[in-house]
Structure formats: structure tokens, C-alpha cells
Amino acid sequence: MSSTGIRTEFPPGGEAPSAPSGTSWRSWLVPLGFLAPALLLLTVWVIYPMLATMWRSLFSDRGNEFVGIDNYERIFTDDRLLTALKNNALWVLIIPAAVTAVGLIFAVLVERVRWSVAFKISVFIPLAVSLFAVGVIWRIMYQQDPDRGAINAGIAAVQGVVSEEGVLSTARPSSDALSGTPQGGLTLTETVGPGGVAQLGLTAIRATEVPEGSEQAVRPEALQGGISGVVWRDFKPGGGTAGEVEDEEVGLPGVTVELRDADRKRIDSTSTGADGTFAFENVPAGEYRVAIGSQTFAQPFKGINWLGDSLITPAIMFAYIWVTAGFAMVIIGAGLAAIPRDTLEAARTDGATEFQVFRRITVPLLAPVLTVVFVTQIIGVLKIFDLVLAVAPGSSQDNAATLAFVMWQRSFSGQNAFGLGAAISTFLLLLFIPFLVINVRRFRAEAR
Amino acid sequence: MRKHRFILLALLVALLAVLAAGCGSDDDEGSEGGAATTTTAATTEEEAEDEPVSGTISVLAVWTGAEGEAFQAVLDGFTEENPDVTVNYKSAKEPATVLSTAVEGGNPPDIAALPQPGFMTDFAQRGALKPIDFAEDAIKEGYAQSWLDLGTVDGELYGLFFKGANKSTVWYNVAAFEDAGVEPPESWEDFLAAADTLKASGVPAYSIGGADGWTLTDLFENIYLRTAGPEKYDQLTAHEIPWTDASVKEALTEMGKVLAADNIAGGTSSALQTDFPTSVTQVFADPPKAAQVLEGDFVGGVIGDETKAVAETDYNVFAFPEINDSGPVVVGGGDVMVMFKDTPAGRALIEYLATPEAAEIWAEKGGFSSPNKNVDTEAYPDEFTKQTASELANAETFRFDMSDLMPGAFGSDALFTLLQDFLKAPDDIDGITQKLERAAASAFKTP
């Protein structure tokens, strides 16, 4: 701005007419006066800390020794920081694109649905929740145990309809007499012929989970021309002797027992009685195997391990998208509203399909707005920290780590590696610069 | 310990505390100036005792809630004796974080309780602490030598262990034990046999809070101190023997027996997401998800606060079993009081905290064990605490929680995550010891 411009806006008061030099001095003073509060705050809270951090990054963790770029070397040799670099790259590659896409879809769809205000509010509300609280909420939602985590509880409810839990889901064989796994069914190792007695002892069944109506287990008498046997809870307080039917040990009623021939083909099946006994009558001579089918041991849904090592980063990312989709939707929605309706109408009149209108007209016209959302998201995810801390349990923090998170961990969680922390911060700042430049350029272009 | 309990909130509270510390800084400056003039007047201990001290001191510790109130009662006991002193107590969930920032910024509190002596060593070596040798005689009277050694850095006494923790305890569900027909075991063989019997009865033997790595280090330390003995324990703590040592492998082999997937509540992946409070409450849920939880005396407080279980009829405690006739040994923890500013009022408070009377104030309120052997055991509110606290103060062999004594980058970071990795794959002992050694080597050499 020229000095004359300022003088017309702020004409000199009743003071004596000033010399030309005084005029230029005063012409500087006024804008400076307006800028001073902001400049002061920026210097104290942004510029000084930034420079101090850069300077600090050249010193050892205790701050007593100049180490040059050693701290920067540590960034690329520390295993956890390498994971963090990888995760940060994933965040930058996936999230801005995903958030923009989801926001665009919501914004376009929301114009066409009834109750669009209600929909907008429900998508936007997560943005009003602090990111840390969001993390706490999702940590609970993601719990593996369906009794604790809402997501796995939902899946369990659906799965429960599809596949039923076995009567003895926790049971295990009590001795080596049974082979196989509960998941694949348990088979007596030794073959039995007609007149033989099969004993199938099971343990790891809670007293409260024994099927109703069970009675003291009985070792049945041998059966002429048939095979008899017992399935029982081979446990009494203190343990008892494995593989032996003893007092206080109860039979397991309602268990389906299969008789298989030498080729493991099922030839008969029966169910156990209240004392756990069963019998196959009229069995031709030969050697047979007695087995309990896997359906008896069918496991209830144990829950997906969302917070485990392999899914933790996608899980955190999903929570992030949940939060920011609303922001993207609102910004893009505003851009949509600004698109001239007649252009769209003209395209439709010319016979363009809805998809073509979206592809060829809406998206190109929205490009500047989409760029805003995209670049804002890049800057947002580069510094992601609070969600990682809140969602990841200690056991998978390593796999979820991001640069900002490791910076906090190394410097402030009691490890006091301030040199390394300062180096990570400076490195993050370097990563920000290209996106800041893009943003500033765009502002300038818009100003023109 | 407690500081880990709600790690999710740690950052939030830490930040609030930093802000609070920042806002209160003006008062602190004033008190420092005021106190400095009194220091010159009362130069010797005797004078300080004779003349009533005055001034304002700030104290920072981890204790909040019921613990915060109990500690405040202890401080009130001090201000009753010294009416001219004002004590401002502030709590912080992550005192180490707040303090390292405050020290870096040149504005620490007068006195702080550190949850790990490793932080004390660190602050002392950075020159941030003032020695407390003026209280040495008073401490010697009530404390075993091992506690004095723990409070000493480079030959100077810096720390007073006000609150202790006995981490060699096992808490169990009485009904689950009765249903399975097992008795609290005394030897390791009986302990493992009891686990098999419990498993056969349908209740997994152990509840493991694997989401919090420190529960795993406590378990390792208890086993290692018993299998390898106190000398090796000290050597490993100081990293004088490598983590690939045969003694470590032996201890991990025993630990692997405990961590077998079918022995622990919910299996391995569930244990990795179970935090410490849940690992306690699920043992006393109906039906119980496991029969016992292997953690320190503070488990009793969690059971009392968060479950309806009744002492002795529903829950009970036994000492961590001996291994190969290791004798009664205790692994413990503790909060160490340190002094950042040397003022007469600060000195008086340290001396007061070393007395059995100060400890008894908190002891009566529960959830507290004093390492001071002159504390009257009658002061403890229940039989459990009497038992665990006297085991702690009078242990033949006492060793401090190893992970708390090591550099933070290893003891409260790499060791946590690597033992969590071990929980994921308890068979790979060679692999995990090599990783432990690599992490320890780098953490111990960093200045």
C-alpha cells in the first residue's frame, strides 16, 4: 500500500505538519501498531518455540552436549520410528483421499434424501466431540470380547443366528485316550469291537455349564454284540484320576456320539443319557472308532481382534474418517450449493446421465473445494497423535505408532529423550512445508 | 501402579497439570524468594527443629481420589505440627512427564513423589535434586538398608520411600479354588499343578492384564528373583549380565508355563487387550473368567472399589510361591519423595514423612503399605494389609521392581512391549532374549 493511501484513510490530526521523513515513519507505525499484537503472540508462541526446538534438536537428550545431526540419524535407525514413518506414509496416502471421497459422496447424496438436515447433523456431530474422547469411545467399541465391544457384539448377534454354539464349547479331552481337537471332533485313539466299552472323558467344563439333568456318571456294562460307553465330566474337586469314572463325576447328557468304521466313515450315531451312557446295538464284528462330532464343541464367536497388531492402524483410521467425514461433507456441500444450477440443468437437457453430470460437471467445478479438503487433511493426519494414544492398547502401540506419537513417547512419557523429540518435531515441520506452500499459493490465487 | 491405571486419560490430565503448574508459577516464585531468606537464618538442623519453620511449599505426586485425600491427611498432620507452613499439594497422573517439563523449564515443585526411582536417578544426575542427608539418621532408624541404598545416587542420599508396594502376592477367587478343590500353593510345582486342576474344572487359572506391559514385568521379576537369586537380579538390573543369559531363559521358560494360551482368561489375544483393572475385576465376576490374578498388594484396593467381592469369603491372597526353595523373597515397588528445592520447610516435611506417625495416618485409611518397619501393624485396617505390609517391611530378601530401576526407554517401554511380544509367542525364548538384549544395550548406552 502506498503512504498516500494510508494518509487518506487516517488523515493527520491536529499535530504540526510533518516533514516527509516523519510521514514515512508514521506510515510504517500505523500498520505496525495493528500488526504488533499478532506479531508478538506469533513470536512468543510460534516462531520462538520453533527455532528453539530446531536448536534443541542439535543437542543430546540431556541438553549438555552438541551432537550435530546425530538425533536425525536416530530417527532412521530406531525400529519404532521406522514403523511410525511407514504408518505416517499410509495415513497420508489413504486418509485425505478417503475423507474427500466419503465427504463428496455424503454431500451429493444428502441433497437427494429426505430428512437431509437430520442426516447432516448426525454425520457432523462427531466433529464436535474431542478427538481424545472419540478415541476412548472407539477403544471400547473395538474390544475383542463380544461382551465388552459393541462392534463384535453386533457381529456376534448376526453370527449367533447363522451358527449355533455347541453344548460343550469349552470342553477338552481329559487324557490321551482321546485324539483330535475340539474344533475337528474328538476320537478315541484305540479301536473298539462289539462287546467293548468306550470311555470318553472331557474336562474344562464349568460346573455351571454341565447340561441340565445330568446324574452321577456310570461306566456301563459291556453289551453283547454292541458297543456301549460313557461321556462324562472327568473332573471332581482336586482333579481326580484322568480317564477313570469316579464318584462325584457327572455324566454329560445330550452329546451326539458317532460310530465310525475303519475308513472313518460314520455308520451310526446316538445321543447320551442323563448318566452320560450310550449304546450302539447290533454292531457287526470288526474294529470301530467312537467319536464326538465337532458340532458339540462349536465355539461361540470370539470376536475380531480389531485392536491387535494387524488391524490396529486401519481401526484408528476408520475412527478418524468417522470424525472428519462430517467436516468434509459440510465444506463440499457448501461448494455444491455454489455450483450454478443452470449448468447442471443444461447438461441434463442435453441428455447426460446423472453419473455423467457428476463426473463431468460437478467434480470439475468442485475441484478447488476438494483440494482444500484434501490438503487440510494431509496436514491433519501428518500430526495425528491423540487418536493413536487413545485407541491403541499398550500391546499394539508399537504397530500403531506415528511420528508425533513417538515424539511424545520418547520425550514426555518419562523417557526424557528431548534431543530426539526435538529432531522428530523438526523433521515433521519439514514434511509440513510443501503442503503449507501449496495452501499459501492457493490463497494467493484466490485473492487474485 | 496407579499411574498406569487410566493411561487413556494420562495426556489430558498431564496437560491440565502443566497448565495448572504454569498458572501457579507466580506463587512458587514468591515462596522461593521468601524461603531463601529463612534459609540463611536457620542454617543447622538443630535450629530448624527448635525454631518453628515457616513458608509455603509445593508438593506434587500421583495420588488422586481416595489416595489423594489420604495423602492430604498426612500433609495436614504436618501442618498441624508446623502451623506456619502452607503446603500446596497437586496431583498429576504422569508426574514424570510434568516434572521433566517443569525441570526443563526451571520451575519444579519443592517436593515430589516419584513413582519410579529411575526418574530420581535421572533428575539427580541432571543436578535437579537436593540431597536429603540431613534426614539420614531418621530414615536409618525405620528402614532396612536396602531402602537407603535405593534412595542413594552416586553416594548421596536423595530419596525417601514413603509408600511401598508388595508385588509378590497372588489374589484368588475363593469359590473357584473350592470348586476345583485346590489349596493356595506354596511351591512352584504346586502352583503349576493347581493351574492344571483349575483349568480342568473349567476356569482358566490366570488373569493377565497384558495391555499394561508392567503387569508382565512384575511377573517376570517375581520369577527371575526366585529362579536366578538376588545377585543375578541386581546384575541384570544394572545390565551387567546380558538378557541372553541362561538365567533369563530359565525364568522365561517358567513364565511361559504361566502364559500358555489355555491357562489365561480369554486366551492370548484377549489378554493383550485386558488392562490391569479389568484383569482384577474379571476374576471376581460371575462367572469368574479366571481363578487368580498375579499382582501386588494394590489389587486389594481394586477389588474393594470395583467389585462386590467380600474379603476372605470371596477373595483372598497368598504370597507368590517359592521356586526351588528360594525362601520368602519380595519384589516391591514404591514412591520415593525427592526434594527439588532446599528450604527449611521442605526439610521439615521430609523429616516428618520419615516418621512412623506420618505413615500411620495413611495406613489407617487403607490402600497403603509403609516400608518403615517401625510402623505399628495395628494401624493397618485389615488382615491382608497387615500381612502384605509386614512381609514388605521385614522381607529377608527384598528387591525393588527391576523395570523401575532401569532407563525409561528400556524399563518402561521396550521391556513392556517385548514381554507383550513374548505373551504373543511364549515359545520363542531365544528370539525374545535377543531382542531384549538389543533394546537394553541401546537404552543403557544412551547418555
**Statement to judge: residues B312 and B191 lie in one domain:** yes
Closest by alpha carbon to B116, among B431, B356, B401, B436? B401
**Statement to judge: residues B115 and B73 lie in one domain:** yes
Residue of B nearest to A140 (CA): B273
Most A CBs within 10 Å, among B4, B6, B8, B179, to test the A interface:
B8
Instruction: Look at chain B and report how many structural domains it folds into.
Output: 2
First to last CA, chain A: 16
Q: Residue A187: in which H helix or E strand, if any?
A: strand A185-188
| Contact status, residue B21 vs residue B91, Cβ threshold 8 Å | no
Q: With 0.95 as the threshold, say if the pTM is over it.
A: no
Nearest by CB: B100 against A172, A389, A416: A416
**Statement to judge: residues B60 and B139 lie in one domain:** yes
Q: How far apart are CA A436 and CA B41, in angstroms?
A: 59
- Asked if the Cβ–Cβ distance from A396 to B272 is below 8 Å, we say yes
Nearest by CB: B447 against A60, A307, A397: A60
Q: Residue B138 is part of a domain; what is its CATH number?
A: 3.40.190.10
Which residues on adjacent β-strands are paired with residue A335? none
- Asked if the Cβ–Cβ distance from B8 to A409 is below 8 Å, we say no
Gyration radius of chain B's alpha carbons: 22
**Statement to judge: residues B88 and B221 lie in one domain:** no
**Statement to judge: residues B342 and B274 lie in one domain:** no
Q: Which domain range does residue B297 map to?
A: 169-330+402-445
Most B CBs within 10 Å, among A413, A418, A420, to test the B interface:
A413
pLDDT of residue A306: 93
Residue of A nearest to B266 (CA): A145
| Contact status, residue A409 vs residue B414, Cβ threshold 8 Å | no
Q: What is the pLDDT along chain B (447 residues), one digit of tens a residue?
A: 444 444 434 444 444 444 444 443 444 333 333 333 333 333 444 444 456 788 999 999 999 888 899 999 999 999 999 999 999 999 988 887 889 889 878 899 999 999 888 789 889 988 999 999 999 999 999 898 888 888 999 999 999 999 999 999 999 999 999 999 999 999 999 999 999 999 999 999 999 999 999 999 999 999 999 999 999 999 999 999 999 999 999 999 999 999 998 899 988 988 998 989 999 999 998 889 999 999 998 898 889 888 999 988 999 999 999 998 888 789 998 899 999 999 999 999 999 999 999 999 999 988 889 999 999 989 998 888 888 898 888 877 889 999 988 887 898 889 999 999 999 999 999 999 999 999 999 888 765
- What whole-number percentage of chain A has pLDDT above 70? 95
Domains and CATH numbers, chain A: 70-153+306-447 (1.10.3720.10), 172-297 (2.60.40)
CB contacts, 8 Å: B269 with chain A: 144, 305, 308
Q: How far apart are CA A36 and CA A33, in angstroms?
A: 5
CB contacts, 8 Å: A417 with chain B: 409, 446
- Asked if the Cβ–Cβ distance from A394 to B287 is below 8 Å, we say no
pLDDT digits (tens, 9 = 90+) for A382-397: 999 999 999 999 889 9
Q: E strands, B277-417, where?
A: 292-293, 315-319, 329-339, 397-400
Assembly ipTM: 0.77
- Asked if the Cβ–Cβ distance from B420 to A204 is below 8 Å, we say no
Q: What are phi and psi of B225, to 5 degrees?
A: -60, -30
Which residues 424-443 in chain B show a CB within 8 A of chain A?
Answer: 424
Q: How far apart are CA B295 and CA B221, in angstroms?
A: 11
**Statement to judge: residues B430 and B285 lie in one domain:** yes
Closest by alpha carbon to B122, among B410, B350, B436? B410
Q: How far apart are CA B331 and CA B393, in angstroms?
A: 12
Q: How far apart are CA A170 and CA B202, in angstroms?
A: 8
Which residues 22-81 in chain B show a CB within 8 A of chain A?
Answer: none
**Statement to judge: residues B24 and B100 lie in one domain:** yes
Looking at the complex, report in whole angstroms how far the Cα of residue A237 sits from the nearest Cα belonging to chain B: 4
Q: How far apart are CA A178 and CA A181, in angstroms?
A: 9
Average pLDDT over residues A49-68: 91
DSSP assignments along A336-386, one per residue: HHHS-HHHHHHHHHTT--HHHHIIIIIHHHHHHHHHHHHHHHHHHHHT--H
Which residues 97-116 in chain B show a CB within 8 A of chain A?
Answer: 97, 100-101, 104, 116
- Asked if the Cβ–Cβ distance from B181 to A238 is below 8 Å, we say yes
**Statement to judge: residues B231 and B106 lie in one domain:** no
Nearest by CB: B408 against A172, A238, A415: A415
**Statement to judge: residues B348 and B260 lie in one domain:** no
**Statement to judge: residues B290 and B419 lie in one domain:** yes
Sign of the CA dihedral running A272, A278, A282, A286: positive
CB contacts, 8 Å: B127 with chain A: none
- Asked if the Cβ–Cβ distance from A413 to B267 is below 8 Å, we say no
